[in-house]
C-alpha cells in the first residue's frame, strides 16, 4: 500500500533521514519506534508531502507521491494526525470535525459526523464545546476523528499517546486497534514502544535517521537489544 525507498531528508546541512526504506501492506498496523530525535516524525512529514526527500521514491497505492502536494496526498487517502494534535482550539468540536470534511462534498458531512460520534461518544457529548476546553485525551480523539472525516485508507499517527495518563493511553490504543479492525491501515510513530508493538503487526527500529532492525512486532518485543534500549529491560 505504501512503499518508501531510499529516502534522504535534510534540514539545511543536517542529514536527518539516511537511506530509509520500508513498506506498509493493506490492513496492517506498522510502527516506527526509536528514541526522541531518531527521525520518526521527519519520515511521516516526508510521506505526507510536508518535507521533500533528496533521493529515492515514495509510492502510495502504486502511484508516486514523492512530488505531490500535501493536500493532494490527503485526497488520495493518506492522512496524518500530527504530533501535538494540532486541533483548532477556538473552534467547537463539531467545527473541528467539519474541517476534516473539506475534501468531500458537504452533502455527505452529516453521515460522516454521525459515524465519528458513534465511534467517539465523548465527542458527541462535547460537540458544542471549544476544542481548547477538552482534556488531552479528548483532544487526541478529536484529532483522530477529524482525520477520519477524510475517509483515509492509510492513517498515520504521530505520537498519539504523548502527554496522556496511562488509562487514556490504553483508550487511545484501543481506538487504533478498532480503526484497524474496521479496515483502516495504520502507520504509527510512537515513543511508547511497548504499547506500539503490542498493537502492531510489524515494526521498524530507527536510530539516528537509519532503520537498524525490522521484524514482526511480537519478535521485536522479545528481542534482547530492543528490550534493553526501548522497553526498559
- Closest alpha carbon to 40 in 203, 226, 229: 203
Q: Is the pTM of this model over 0.85?
A: yes
- Closest alpha carbon to 64 in 84, 78, 80: 78
**Domain CATH number, residue 75:** 3.40.50.300
- pLDDT for 232 equals 66
- pLDDT for 119 equals 87
- Closest alpha carbon to 17 in 25, 5, 29: 5
pLDDT profile of the chain (233 residues), mean per 10? 96 94 97 91 95 95 94 93 87 91 76 89 92 90 92 94 86 92 95 92 95 94 87 65
User: Distance (Å, rounded) from C-alpha 117 to C-alpha 226?
Assistant: 38
- pLDDT for 227 equals 87
Domain membership of residue 160 as a residue range: 2-230
DSSP state of 82: -
DSSP state of 159: S
What is the number of structural domains in the chain?
1
For residue 6, the tally of other CB atoms under 10 A from its CB is: 12
DSSP state of 55: S
How far, in Å, are 15, 28, 40, 157, 177 from residue 187 at the CA level? Answer: 23, 8, 11, 6, 12
- pLDDT for 233 equals 53
- pLDDT for 44 equals 96
- pLDDT for 226 equals 87
- Closest alpha carbon to 2 in 181, 193, 152: 152
- Closest alpha carbon to 190 in 52, 60, 36: 36
User: Distance (Å, rounded) from C-alpha 63 to C-alpha 52?
Assistant: 16
Asked if 121 and 151 touch (Cβ cutoff 8 Å), the reply is: no
User: Distance (Å, rounded) from C-alpha 82 to C-alpha 140?
Assistant: 10
Cell of 76: 488520495
- pLDDT for 83 equals 85
Amino acid at each position: 500500500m505504501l512503499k518508501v525507498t531510499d529516502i534522504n531528508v535534510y534540514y539545511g546541512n543536517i542529514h536527518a533521514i539516511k537511506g530509509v526504506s520500508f513498506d506498509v501492506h493493506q490492513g496492517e498496523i506498522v510502527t516506527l519506534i526509536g528514541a526522541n530525535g531518531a527521525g520518526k516524525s521527519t519520515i511521516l512529514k516526508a510521506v505526507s508531502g510536508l518535507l521533500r526527500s533528496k533521493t529515492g521514491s515514495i509510492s502510495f497505492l502504486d502511484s508516486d507521491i514523492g512530488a505531490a502536494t500535501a493536500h493532494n496526498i490527503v485526497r488520495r487517502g493518506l492522512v496524518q494526525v500530527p504530533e501535538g494534535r494540532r486541533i483548532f482550539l477556538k473552534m467547537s468540536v463539531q467545527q473541528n470535525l467539519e474541517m476534516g470534511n473539506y475534501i468531500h462534498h458537504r452533502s455527505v458531512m452529516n453521515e460522516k459526523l454521525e459515524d465519528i460520534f458513534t465511534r467517539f461518544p465523548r465527542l458527541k457529548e462535547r460537540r458544542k464545546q471549544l476544542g481548547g476546553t477538552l482534556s488531552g485525551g479528548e483532544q487526541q480523539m478529536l484529532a483522530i476523528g477529524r482525520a477520519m472525516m477524510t475517509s483515509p485508507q492509510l492513517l498515520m499517527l504521530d505520537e498519539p499517546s504523548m502527554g496522556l495518563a496511562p488509562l487514556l493511553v490504553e483508550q487511545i490504543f484501543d481506538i487504533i486497534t478498532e480503526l484497524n479492525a474496521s479496515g483502516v491501515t495504520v502507520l504509527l510513530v510512537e515513543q511508547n514502544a511497548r504499547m506500539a508493538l503490542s498493537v502492531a503487526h510489524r515494526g521498524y527500529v530507527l536510530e539516528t535517521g537509519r532503520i537498524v532492525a525490522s521484524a514482526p512486532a511480537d519478535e521485536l518485543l522479545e528481542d534482547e537489544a530492543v528490550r534493553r534500549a526501548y522497553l526498559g529491560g
